Amino acid sequence: MEFFIDTADVDEIRKANEMGLVDGVTTNPSLIKKAGRDHEETIREISSFINGPISVETLSEDCEGMLKEAEEYMTWGNNIVIKIVMSPEGMKAVRQLSERRIKTNVTVVFSPLQALVAAKAGATYVSPFVGRLDDVGHQGMDLIGQIRQIFDNYQFDTKILVASVRHPVHMLDSALLGGDVATVPLKTLMQLFNHPLTDKGIEQFIKDSKEWAGKALA
Ligand code: E4P
């Protein structure tokens, strides 16, 4: 399973990248707003040190506008993926981009049939939002299993990009259910390192090594 980082905060991306945990980046208009910087400048900077795919979301509601934005975004880096919302106009745009072998990521997906529609349009990635489903009392991860089964039934190449990940159990379930990618905030990435027995084990090793080193020196 690939790890993408779900942020437009360049410092966070650099931090995760130094730990070798960034196979790609996803952004959206809310994350750009939160980062508080110019959209183009931010994406160009990310693209200067990240080799993996960087999803940049179109803002238009019609296919023509989305395609125009896609043309511009493609000039911001070599690794740009055009992120497009699930809608009839969006799928028209995805089809045209995929015919030109331009990578796409279909976002705000909440049902297996939306994922099927995106795959049929030729999407490179489909982004089911598991956390937002949990928020309204659904089992977000059920969607991942359903999409996996549908894509495997018909050998779609479209990758399942598990999105709206909120905690490590989402990561575990994504990996168990065959998600191709999980896009994750830095906080959740950092939580993956944690285990109380690891902390306890390290503490004991340090304590023992100090005693042992003390004896060796004496
Ligand atoms: C995915 O591409 C989205 O940017 C993101 O995962 C949405 O997450 P949220 O529901 O925490 O906003």
pLDDT per residue as tens digits for the range 81-113: 999 999 999 999 999 999 999 999 999 999 999
- Predicted model pTM: 0.95
Cα–Cα distance measured from residue 145 to residue 201, given in angstroms and rounded to the nearest whole number: 36
The pLDDT, as a whole number, for residue 113 is 98
Residue having the nearest C-alpha atom to atom 11 of ligand 1: 164
- Is the C-beta atom of 163 inside 6 A of ligand 1? yes
Q: Mean pLDDT for the chain?
A: 97
Whether 192 has a pLDDT exceeding 90, the answer reads yes
Give me the long-range contacts of 163-167 (CB less than 8 A, separation at least 24): 163/6, 163/26, 163/107, 163/127, 163/128, 163/129, 163/130, 164/129, 164/130, 164/131, 164/132, 164/133, 164/140, 165/6, 165/130, 165/131, 166/130, 166/131, 166/134, 167/191
In terms of DSSP H, where are the helices of the chain?
10-18, 29-35, 39-49, 63-74, 88-99, 112-120, 130-135, 140-153, 168-177, 186-191, 196-217
CA of 5 to the centre of ligand 1 (A): 10
pLDDT tens per residue, range 106-119: 999 999 999 999 99
Residue having the nearest C-alpha atom to atom 1 of ligand 1: 163
pLDDT tens per residue, range 21-78: 999 999 999 999 999 999 999 999 999 999 999 999 999 999 999 999 999 999 999 9
Distance of CA 62 to the CA centre of its chain: 25
The pLDDT, as a whole number, for residue 213 is 77
Is 83 one of the annotated active-site residues of the chain? Answer: yes
